Amino acid sequence: MAIERIGNFIDGAWVPPTTGEYAPNVNPADTNDVLAEAPLSGSDDAKAAFDAAERAFPSWRATPPPKRARYIARAFTILTSRLDEVARAMCREEGKVLSEAKGEVQKGLNLLEFYAGEGFRLHGKTLPSEMARTLTYTLREPVGPVALVSPWNFPFAIPVWKSAPALVAGCPVVLKPAQLTPLSAKLMADAYQEAGLPRGVFNLVYGRGSTVGRLLVDDERARAVSFTGSNEIGIDIYTRAARRGARVTCEMGGKNPVVVLDDADLDLAVEGIVAGAFGSTGQRCTATSRLIVTGGIHDALVERLKSRARALKVGNGLEPGVEMGPAVDQVQLAQDLAAIEQAQGDGAKLETGGRRLTEGALQRGFFVEPTVFTQVTPGSALAQEEVFGPVLAVLKAGSFDEALALANNVRYGLASSIYTRSANAAMRFIEGSEVGMVHVNQATVGGEAQLPFGGVKKTGVGEKEMAEEGLNFFTHLKTVFFDYTGSRRETNIY
C-alpha cells in the first residue's frame, strides 16, 4: 500500500511542498509502521503561508468575535465525533498509550469548547475619566498574523491551545507542528477546514524547525510568536523576535519536583509519583523528574516506587494493558540512556531500570525501562537537567525547609507538588515554591482549559497559555477617549 502523503494547508487548500521533499512519520513503538509522509517545506512555502495570512487579516479582524468563535465550536463538534481516530493516530505517531492519547484529545476538545465561549466575552474595560462627559474604555484588537511552533509531546492539544485563542482573537495563524508528529495537527486542520474557516485564516506548514520554523518565526509579518519546546530553541526565538519588536511567549523545559513529607499519605504519594514520572514515558513538560523526601518516609517510599516501576507494562501503547510507551525517537532514547549513564558516573544509586528494552517486538521500538535513582547529589546533571524520559531522581531532605530549598534549586520553574497532611506545610510550600503551577496531594502533571498554564524562571517567558490569558496574548488593548460634550475646548492636563 502506498504511504499517504500529507500536504501543507495554505490559503484554504492542501498543497504539496514546493521543495517536493518529504520525511516519513514513523511509529516509535514499531519502526516498521510508517503512518504517512509529511512535507519538508522550504522558504517559498513559508512565504506563501504568510502571504495568505496577511491577505486574510482585514476581513477576519472585521468578523465579530462571536462569529469567529462559532468556527471553533464547529471544529469542536467535528473532532468530538473523531476522538478515537485522533487518539489512535497520536498513539501511533508519538507512542503514548491509548488512554493517555484519548485524555489529550479530550483536553484539546475542552480547549476548543472554552475558546468557543470566549468569543462572546472578548472584552475590554470601561473606566472613569478625570473629565466629565468623557467615556474612556479599552478595546481588544487582534495583533495581526501570528506564527505558532509546537513540540511533538502533545501533538494535538498544544496546536489547539495555541491556534484556537489566536483565531478567536482575530489573528490569522501559520502553524508549524513538530516534524515527528505531523498527523495529529493535520486532523485538527481537517476539522478547521470542514468547519468552514475562511481561506488563509488558518495555515499549516510542515518542515524542520531549523529551516522552515526559523523562517516563520522571523517573518516580519508575524506580529506574535508562540512557541513551546526546549529552552535552547525558545530563548533563541525570543531574542530574534524581540529584535523586530514582535510579541513572544515561550513555554519551555521543566525539572519538576514532588516533595513528600513524613506525614504524607504514602499510597497517594506513590500513585501521583508513578503517574508523574512514568506517564507519557516522562515526556511531559510537567513530568515529575525529582522526588524530594524527608528521612522518616524515604526508604518505605523508595521501596514502593521500585516495585511499582518494575511492574509497569512497557510496550506498544495500542495494546491493551500497556502502561508506558517508548521514547519518541532514536535521539530521545539516546538522551535517556546517556542521562542514566552519567547519573551512575556521578555516583547516584540505580534502584531499578536503567536499560533499553529489546525483547521480542520491543526491539523495533525505542523502549527504555522506568528508572529510579537515589542518593542523587543536588548539583549533579540528573538533579539539574531535563531528561524528558522515564527517569526519576530521588533526593533526601532533613526538614521541610531543606526540601523547599532543594525543590527551588534548579533553573526551571514549571510545576511542583507536595504530599503532606499538614495545611501549614502545604501553605508554606505554595508560598515558597518557585513555579508557575503548584499542586497539593496530587501529581505535577495536568492542566485545565480555564486555568492559566506556564512556568517561571527559565521555563517560561511572555504570557501564560490557555485560559483568558492565552487569548489576551493575541490581542492588544486600544484605549479610547470619547468626549461627548462635543464642545470642550480645554485639554486634559494629564
- Decide: 25 and 182 in contact? Cβ < 8 Å: yes
Residue nearest to ligand NAP (CB): 209
Alpha carbon 281 to its chain's center: 15
Contact window for ligand NAP (CB under 6 A) among 159-167, 193-201, 204-212, 469-477: 204-212
Question: In the bound complex, what is the minimum distance in angstroms from residue 245's beta carbon to ligand NAP?
Answer: 18
Looking at 32, 81, 128, 210, which residue binds ligand NAP (CB under 6 A)? 210
Site map for ligand NAP, 429-468, x if CB under 6 A? --------------------------x---x---------
Look up residue 223 and give its DSSP letter: -
SS3 content of the chain, % helix, strand, coil (to 5): 40, 25, 35
Give the C-alpha separation, 283 to 286, whole Å.
8
Q: Which stretch binds ligand NAP (CB under 6 A): 49-57, 103-111, 232-240, 340-348?
A: 232-240
Residues in the chain: 494
107 or 308: whose CB is closer to ligand NAP? 107
Shortest Å distance, C-beta 175 to ligand NAP:
10
- Separation in Å, CA 443 to CA 194, 291, 296, 419, 455: 37, 11, 21, 9, 16
Non-local (6+) Cβ contacts of 169 within 8 A are 65, 122, 140, 142, 143, 471, 474, 475
Return the residue of 28, 142, 213, 370 that touches ligand NAP, per CB under 6 A: 213
Q: Residue 268 corresponds to which cell in the numbers above?
A: 497517594
List 93, 94, 100, 251, catalytic entry: 251
Site residues (CB under 6 A) for ligand NAP, limited to 165-184 = 176, 178-179
Strand partners, 136: 127, 481
The 253-272 contact track toward ligand NAP, x by CB under 6 A, reads xx------------------
Tell me: does residue 276 bind ligand NAP (CB under 6 A): no
Take residue 332 and report the three cell numbers written for it: 530521545
Find the shortest distance in angstroms from Cβ 457 to ligand NAP.
Answer: 11
- Segment lying near ligand NAP (by CB under 6 A), choices 16-24, 43-51, 227-235, 397-405: 227-235
β-strands 173-176, 202-204 pairing: parallel
Write each residue from 381 to 400 as x if it is in contact with ligand NAP (CB under 6 A), else as -, in one continuous string: -----x-x------------
Active site residue 194: no
Contact call for residue 192 and ligand NAP (CB under 6 A): no
DSSP for 351-397, please give it: EE--SEE-SGGGGGS-EE--EEEES--TTSHHHHS---SSEEEEEEE
Radius of gyration of the chain (CA): 24
Active site residue 465: no
CB 176 within 8 A of CB 37: no
Q: Which stretch binds ligand NAP (CB under 6 A): 58-66, 107-115, 125-133, 208-216?
A: 208-216
Spatial contact of 41 and 19, defined as CB atoms under 8 Å apart: yes
Task: Out of 42, 65, 95, 151, point to the residue binding ligand NAP (CB under 6 A).
Answer: 151
Catalytic machinery residues: 251, 285
Residues near ligand NAP, by CB under 6 A: 149-154, 176, 178-179, 208-210, 213-214, 217, 228-230, 233, 236-237, 251-254, 285, 386, 388, 414, 455, 459
